[in-house]
Structures are given as C-alpha cells and as structure tokens.
C-alpha cells in the first residue's frame, strides 16, 4: 500500500487507540504474571526433584507427589545396587514434624528432609553449597530456607525444637521452599531421630525414597521401565526425575483444582481483554466511518477496508504485548527479589503472547463489523 493509512491513523490518533493498547497490555501482564506465579508455586511442588541430581526416583508404588511418599521395603536398596546400570544409590527420608522456636509458642508444621550430608550428595545438590551441606554432619543440626526464617522464629545459629527434640539451625539456603509446607533439611541420622514413632515402637530403618544415579543418564527411561516390570515383587516403583517432577506439579495443579482455577482465570482475562479492546477499536472505526464510507464510494472494496482495521488491531496487539512484557518483566524481578516463587519457560511465555495477539485480532474482527455502516449512501442527505 502506498499510503500506510492504518499505521498513520494509529500514530495520529494514539489517544483514541491507547485504551485498547492498555487493555491488551494488562491482559498480557495478567496472563504472564499469573502463569509465572502458577509455574513458580506449583513448580516448587517438585523442588525436591528439581534441586537434586540423580536420574531415577524410587518410591512407594503409585506415589503421586513427593510429600505423599510412604516407607518402602528395606531390601529395595539391594535390588537397586544389584542392577548393572546403577552407579549410585542415595537414601531420602521424609519426616513430618512440629516446629517450636520457643516454649509456649504455637507450632509450625514442617517437613524434614533427611539426606546424605556428604559434599557430593545428590539430594538438593543444586540448592546447597557443599560447605553448608557438610555442617549437617553435626548431630541435630538443620538447614532452613532463608525466606522461612521469620516464620520459624529463628536466625542462623539459633535453636528450636522439632517434635520435641532440640535442633540447631546451621545454615539458611535459597530456594528450598516447597508447596506442601516448610521444608527443613537434616542429615539422615538427625531426621531419623526426629521421628515420633509412638512409645515403645521399635526403630524403623525404612526410607521414603531412593535417588539413583545411572552410568548412562540417557538410559533412565529404559531402566525405569525395566525396574517397573516387577513392581509387585520389589514393592517400589521407579520414575525418571523429570517424570516424577511432572507428576508432582500436575498433582498439585489438577488434583487440587488449582489448575482449573488458573484456566478459568485466563479465560476471564481473555474475555475482559476482548471486551475492552474491541469496544475501543469499534469506537475508533466508528469515529472514522465517514472517511471509510467515502473510500468505499470511491470504489475501495470492503475487503481492503477490513484489512486496514485488522492491521490496526495487529499493531495495537503488538504495542500492548510489548508494554505487557515489559511490565511483567518488572513484576517478575520484583517477585524474585521478595522470594515470591515465579518461573516462566519459553513455551508458556509464547502461549501467553499468542493469547494476547488472539485477544487483539478477535477485537479487530469485532471492529471490522462496524464497517458495515461504511455505506456511502449515509453520507448523502
């Protein structure tokens, strides 16, 4: 086109189009931030898996999320070590507890992760510096998440009680927060001592999970499948790490109904976005309807006029998306600085961007309908 009517009108009458750009921008912001929050929060359901190294997770058959684990037979470890594909097996003990920082104060429900304290341990290898991990060798020492210190009422070096037994906080790490509750790290020995088994019950040596490192990480799906052929005999099930992580996230997303809530909220955002954006675009088209009608009288086809309106909608979408992305980036940085769990991948981000462009194009299609009134006979009175 030799005269860029859509773009020139958009720039010249930016005040008229600005509400539409803002509506698109806000829709984009809401979608992106909501997605990042959801992925951040529900992603933390899998923090145990995602912050650890290891290729396979071994747990109670049918376990749907990490915190729902149950003790598995003691001989599981032997079966695993006998497998030629396995390079290392590490134990993981899950203990639920009550945390009291001072006597007389209310208890905080916590979960204690009993892990190997060695510097090269697999569990939480991505979250714990080796030196901090070594401190867990000291009996009855624990590591908490930096962001939980206030809630737990302690500072690093302070003491508290878990299930009535005194522990000392020897470190505060980042990004240990899990969805189920406060996550506390201890050595396997400490964790075992923190268990409340009931009076007169013999000590239980069983573990909740084993984390397995393979000689060939690429073989993980095949090894898991092989181990799972004998679930009933072994009394455990094997998952690849990514599979187990996914399981935890989708359990929280969909079994709790939160996932549907998110989808519903996204739908609401899109509908509101389309309503506001289309109203503004329709008003803009209506404001130029005499000019469009004149072009139509001069022989410019309705199809060409529609293209002008759709092009405007596309520019509005692109502008809104840009503002929305910038706003979201700011919001996410802020959230990150305040330990609010946020995470956004490329694919979810692209889906959000696609939804934003869909919002503006749907609005453009609504505005196109106003062109029906671009009838030159209306100019003649």
Partner 1 sequence: MNISSIPPAQVADRAASAVAIRGTALEKSYRSGKVSTTVLRGLSLEIGLGELTLVSGPSGCGKSTLLSLLGGLLQPDAGRVHALGVDLWALAARDLERFRLEHTGFVFQGFNLFGALSALEQVMLPLGYLGLDSGTARLRAEEALSEVGLSDRIALRPSALSGGEKQRVAIARALAKQPQLLFADEPTSALDAASGQRVIEILHRIARRHNCAVLCVSHDPRLIGQSDRVLQMEDGCILADRRQFEQKELTA
Residues that bind partner 1 (CB under 8 A): 1-3, 5, 8-9, 11-13, 288, 290-291, 293-302, 304, 375-377, 379-381
CB of 22 to partner 1, least distance (A): 20
305 three-state secondary structure: helix
CB of 312 to partner 1, least distance (A): 11
CB of 302 to partner 1, least distance (A): 8
Question: Which of 4/225 has CB closer to partner 1?
Answer: 4
Question: Which of 219/376 has CB closer to partner 1?
Answer: 376
User: Which residue, chain included where needed, has tokens 């104060």?
Assistant: 105
Looking at 86-240, list the stretches that DSSP marks H as alpha helix, in order from N- to C-terminal side.
130-134, 149-152, 188-194, 220-228, 231-234
Q: In whole angstroms, how far apart are CA 343 and each of 47, 101, 144, 249, 331?
A: 12, 32, 21, 13, 12
Q: How many angstroms separate the CA atoms of 113 and 40, rounded?
A: 21
CB of 127 to partner 1, least distance (A): 56
CB of 314 to partner 1, least distance (A): 17
Contact 167, 117 (CB under 8 A): no
Contact 34, 266 (CB under 8 A): yes
CB of 285 to partner 1, least distance (A): 13
Looking at the chain, list the stretches that DSSP marks H as alpha helix, in order from N- to C-terminal side.
5-12, 14-43, 47-50, 76-82, 130-134, 149-152, 188-194, 220-228, 231-234, 241-250, 258-287, 289-297, 302-337, 346-368
Question: Which of 11/334 has CB closer to partner 1?
Answer: 11
Nearest to 275 by CA among 1, 19, 16: 19
Question: Which of 46/295 has CB closer to partner 1?
Answer: 295
Question: Which of 115/368 has CB closer to partner 1?
Answer: 368
CB of 16 to partner 1, least distance (A): 10
Contact 262, 38 (CB under 8 A): yes
Question: Which of 283/302 has CB closer to partner 1?
Answer: 302
Question: Which of 255/304 has CB closer to partner 1?
Answer: 304
Question: Which of 147/376 has CB closer to partner 1?
Answer: 376
**302-337 and 14-43 helices cross at what angle (nearest 10)?**
40
The angle subtended at Cα 132 by Cα 127 and Cα 136, nearest 5°, is 105
Contact 115, 185 (CB under 8 A): yes
Q: In whole angstroms, how far apart are CA 114 and each of 136, 141, 219, 280?
A: 10, 11, 27, 58
CB of 320 to partner 1, least distance (A): 20
């Amino acid at each position: 086109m030799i005269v860029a009517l859509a773009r020139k009108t958009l720039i010249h009458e930016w005040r008229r189009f600005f509400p539409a750009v803002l509506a698109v921008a806000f829709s984009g912001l809401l979608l992106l931030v909501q997605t990042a929050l959801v992925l951040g929060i529900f992603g933390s359901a899998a923090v145990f898996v995602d912050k650890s190294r290891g290729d396979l997770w071994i747990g109670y058959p049918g376990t749907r999320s990490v915190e729902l684990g149950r003790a598995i037979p003691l001989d599981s470890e032997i079966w695993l070590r006998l497998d030629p594909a396995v390079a290392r097996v590490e134990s993981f003990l899950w203990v639920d507890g009550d945390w009291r920082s001072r006597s007389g104060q209310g208890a905080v429900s916590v979960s204690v992760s009993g892990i190997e304290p060695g510097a090269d341990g697999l569990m939480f290898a991505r979250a714990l510096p080796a030196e901090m991990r070594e401190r867990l060798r000291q009996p009855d020492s624990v590591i908490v998440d930096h962001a939980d210190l206030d809630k737990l009422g302690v500072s690093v070096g302070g003491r508290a009680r878990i299930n009535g037994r005194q522990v000392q906080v020897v470190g505060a790490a980042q990004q240990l927060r899990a969805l189920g509750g406060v996550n506390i790290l201890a050595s396997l020995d400490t964790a075992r001592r923190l268990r409340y088994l009931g009076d007169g019950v013999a000590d239980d040596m069983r573990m909740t999970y084993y984390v397995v490192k393979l000689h060939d990480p690429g073989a993980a799906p095949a090894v898991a499948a092989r181990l799972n052929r004998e679930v009933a005999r072994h009394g455990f099930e094997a998952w690849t790490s990514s599979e187990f992580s996914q399981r935890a996230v989708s359990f929280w997303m969909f079994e709790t109904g939160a996932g549907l809530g998110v989808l519903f909220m996204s739908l609401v955002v899109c509908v509101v976005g389309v309503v506001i954006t289309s109203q503004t675009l329709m008003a803009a088209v209506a404001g130029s309807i005499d000019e469009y009608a004149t072009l139509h009288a001069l022989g410019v086809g309705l199809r060409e006029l529609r293209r002008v309106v759709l092009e405007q909608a596309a520019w509005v979408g692109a502008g809104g998306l840009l503002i929305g992305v910038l706003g979201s980036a700011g919001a996410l940085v802020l959230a990150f600085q305040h330990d609010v769990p946020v995470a956004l991948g490329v694919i979810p981000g692209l889906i959000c961007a696609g939804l934003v462009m869909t919002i503006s194009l749907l609005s453009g299609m609504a505005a196109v309908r106003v062109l029906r009134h671009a009838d030159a006979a209306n100019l003649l009175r």
